Amino acid sequence: MNFLFSGLFWGLILVLIGISVIIKAVFKIDIPIVRLIFALILIYFGLKMLLGGFRIGTERTIIFQEAELKAGARDSEYNIIFGSGEINISDLKLEDRIIRIEADIIFGSGKVLLPAGIPVIVKTSTVFGQCRLPDAQTSAFGDRTYRSPGIDTSQPYLILELDVVFGSAEIIII
């Protein structure tokens, strides 16, 4: 992806435009340079995806790949977009507050790993997808809420807000 923002890429684009102007002026041949550049960019993206080198994202986002995300001890957001992976929250330690984690799975598949000893409320919103909760409930469209047994909302707990759009998610307590 950095290639598209490099001086080499834009230098080549300017050289191609210059060559096409010369060919059109001298030989009266019209080369559709914009369509050609667009086609070359699509070929570049396709080859990068096929060869496994197309990686976009941050330490909290998976795009076009398969990976694992480790959740920290603070409120945060994690995303899986056009990919697959795990969002591992199993090392989370509750402090003296409520921790809120948001996760989005869009056109992908993912597993969310939760720690067994921490009280949790899971709020899911699914649109044209599948979401499996720890109590084996599934949803394909709509909102669901799971509460761990015996949760006391006056004590610290974890709130997981999970949105699934055209994808699949599974919440596993380990």
pLDDT in tens, 19-74: 888 888 999 888 887 888 788 778 777 776 666 555 555 678 888 788 899 887 67
Higher pLDDT pick, 104 / 49: 104
Residue 16 lies in a domain: yes
Which of 50, 74, 90 is at the close of a domain?
50
44/75 same-domain check? no
Provide the Cα torsion 86, 144, 93, 90; round to 10°. Answer: -30
pLDDT tens sequence across 149-167: 989 888 999 999 999 999 9
- 10 found inside a domain: yes
What is the domain range of residue 95? 61-173
Same domain, 106 and 138: yes
Please report whether residue 70 resides in a domain: yes
pTM: 0.67
In a domain, 34, yes or no: yes
124 and 46 housed in the same domain: no
